[in-house]
Amino acid sequence: EDQAESVLCVKPAVLVYRLPPRASSRGYRAAEWQLDQPAWSGRMRITAKGKIAFIKLEDKSSGELFAQAPVEQFPGIAVESVTDSSRYFVIRIEDGNGRRAFIGVGFVDRGDAFDFNVALQDHFKWVKQQSELAKQAENPEQGPKLDLRFKEGETIKLNIANMKKKEGAAGNPRPRPAGPGGLSLLPPPPSGKSAPVCPSGGWPTPAQLPGTPITDSDLSWPQPAAAPSTAAAADAWGDFAKASGSSSSQAQANTGWVQF
């Protein structure tokens, strides 16, 4: 009683028919209802309260309830389709005092009949899901478990053709370390001895190779540069040298520098 009532579907035009006695158990046929003479017309409102859905037939203007059919299961005895049309159904109405009756209902539009079916199906699908979730919450160990074990005869294949080779493996030499200026440096010799360094930056001569004696003729001794003449220096410095000559001599004497 404390549960809220929700509206599932509203259809503004529905027709109600009296059912003739059933001649056999083969099902209902709408062609036997005198479809051109409905017993009542109004609107249909489908509501849900908990797990139960209610089909309510109401007056279009005042909203007064004409009849109500509680539905506890769909498809079921409370709602049954006819055998010769998709727009007509047989529903079981109740008055709340235990009295029940079967009446025929029909829709003018086939789309309204489709919505009527879908509204009931969606509600009871939700009821089924809620029931399953409640059972799993009570017994979590009985729920479905994911089996990741290999089945008998099942194998796995690995594609290693595109895997990268390790650095330094055969056919994949290691990159040379880069020296100053982005130049590649040669690796050290296998014996562990350092390679001879050429002062001029070129290839070593036979005299510079290890194990060869070096003579004075093989060495290129640096020669002292010729000192510029006094006249050339005077021309280069001009009046600046004359003006600062005395001060320069005094500074040289104090600091211990020797002028060449």
pTM metric for this prediction: 0.53
Q: Are 245 and 234 in contact (CB under 8 A)?
A: no
Domain coordinates of the chain in residue numbers?
5-138
> pLDDT tens across 19-43, in order?
988 776 778 899 999 999 999 999 9
> pLDDT tens across 148-187, in order?
777 788 888 777 766 655 544 555 555 555 555 555 556 6
**Domain 5-138 in CATH 2.30.130.10:** no
Percent of the chain predicted with pLDDT > 70:
57
Q: Are 87 and 113 in contact (CB under 8 A)?
A: yes
Q: How far apart are CA 202 and CA 194, in angstroms?
A: 16
Cβ burial of 69 (10 Å; 0-12, 13-18, 19+) is buried
Residue 83 has pLDDT above 50, yes or no: yes
Q: Are 169 and 176 in contact (CB under 8 A)?
A: no
Going by pLDDT thresholds of 50, 70 and 90, the confidence category of residue 121 is very high
Residue 62 three-state SS = coil
